[in-house]
Amino acid sequence: MIRIAAVGDLHYGVGSPSILRPSLEHLPDRADLLVLAGDLTRCGGTDEIKILAGDLRQLRIPVIAVLGNHDYQADKEDEVRKVLEDAGTRVLEGEATTVQINGTRVGVAGTKGFGGGFRGAHGTDFGEPEMKAFVGHTKKLATGLEHALRGLDVDFKIALLHYSPIEATLEGERLEIYPFLGSYLLAEAIDNAGADIVFHGHAHHGSEKGRTPAGIPVRNVAQPVIRHAYNVYTLGTGEGILTAEEARAIRA
Amino acid sequence: MSERRDYFPETIRDKLIHDPRVAEQDLRVEVVESRVVLGGNVATSEIQAMISTVARELLPGYQILNETTVVPATEPEGEEPVA
């Protein structure tokens, strides 16, 4: 059994207490891997990410992250990424990585993702350059995610995002802002390539649990949603897997 | 800052989001006469206090009612099997 600790939207800031720090001591006893679903900082500052990096450096388990929209606010996303990687955290954007846990290969493919909306109500890359850029960005990141997932040859695949791939985990948010919270293109990429579990953040007022149209479990681990320092999910127990009939029912 | 009543709450919200001391997109803002009511979830009591400080700077002459909620961040109790 593999235990995954997951959380997003930690929003580390200067002068603000660390959300994760009080839980770090026990985390390696609770989980084999920590995944961070973006919005690690408040304003994307290197001073902010250094505080999180200092916390993560102490951990004795692998840490894998994607960045979120807040981590781009200062236009220093490359520096933010470097600070994390120097502290031993693997940061993914259209990339995948594999870790060995007790002889089991676990692959994580990640992207920030982006918005656009959901089936029947998605924006199109048509018209103004700004609209083409908006939807085009999502398409590019979804394609990168699918490619990264397909490249994994592992026992378990995890898709790690910041933006949501499905509507179900947005329930609680205002309907008007759904197009800014995620895109079905991300779910399509995941369903095409296959995964065992999807984690995302971003939707602070959303719901924790949902599934892609093909039945892959999705968990919104935004910290304000899970209301803990992190949640733990297990792979390899055989529980939580849909029967073929259940998967067909979801698709219908 | 525009104080046109119809748009004033959104103007305040935008100012708070862009202040690096706050940078919180989940805030709700209501203006009732000379009172500004702030709601939503925040990560820590320090951010909650900072929101009041910044709001008072932005809105001299208004009474600030900070009704935001600090989200708990304790360790989880169990695990969820997903696959």
pLDDT one-digit tens code per residue, A185-235: 999 999 999 999 999 999 999 999 999 999 999 999 999 999 999 999 999
pLDDT at A240 over 80: no
Across chain A, what does the average pLDDT equal? 94
Structure tokens at A132: 């083409």
Smallest CA–CA distance from B69 into chain A, residue: A224
Section A81-101 average pLDDT: 98
A243: confidence class by pLDDT, cuts 50, 70, 90: low
pLDDT at A8 over 70: yes
Section A33-60 average pLDDT: 96
CB-based contacts of B20, cutoff 8 Å, min separation 6: A42, A43, A45
CB contact under 8 A, B78 and A232: yes
Q: Which residues of chain B neighbour A240 with C-beta distances below 8 Å?
A: 80-83
Smallest CA–CA distance from B23 into chain A, residue: A42
Run means of pLDDT, 10 residues per run, chain B, 83 residues = 79 94 92 94 91 95 96 93 92
Smallest CA–CA distance from A10 into chain B, residue: B43
Helix, strand, coil shares, percent, chain B, to 5: 30, 25, 45
- Return the pLDDT at A71: 98
Give percent of chain A above pLDDT 70: 95
The predicted model scores a pTM of 0.93
pLDDT at A251 over 60: no
Residue A67 phi/psi, 5-degree rounding, is -90, 165
Q: Is A239 on the interface with B (CB under 8 A)?
A: yes
Return the DSSP state at A12.
B
Report whether A198 contacts A159 (CB < 8 A). Answer: yes
- Return the pLDDT at A17: 77
Complex ipTM: 0.87
Report whether A231 contacts A7 (CB < 8 A). Answer: yes
Residue located via tokens 């208004």: B62
- Could you tell me the CA-to-CA distances from B18 to A163, A187, A191 in Å, in that order? 21, 31, 37
- Return the pLDDT at B1: 60
Nearest to B82 among A45, A73, A235 (CB): A235
CB contact under 8 A, A234 and B76: no
Across the strands, what pairs with A179?
Answer: none
Smallest CA–CA distance from B70 into chain A, residue: A224
CA distance B34 to B13: 16
Section A163-180 average pLDDT: 97
Section A67-85 average pLDDT: 98
- Return the pLDDT at A247: 61
| H helices present in chain A, as ranges | 27-30, 46-57, 77-86, 129-150, 184-193, 223-226, 244-251
CA distance A17 to B42: 12
CB contact under 8 A, B26 and A204: yes
A245: confidence class by pLDDT, cuts 50, 70, 90: low
pLDDT at A241 over 80: no
Section A59-86 average pLDDT: 97
Residue located via tokens 């202040």: B19
Q: Which residues of chain B neighbour A45 with C-beta distances below 8 Å?
A: 20
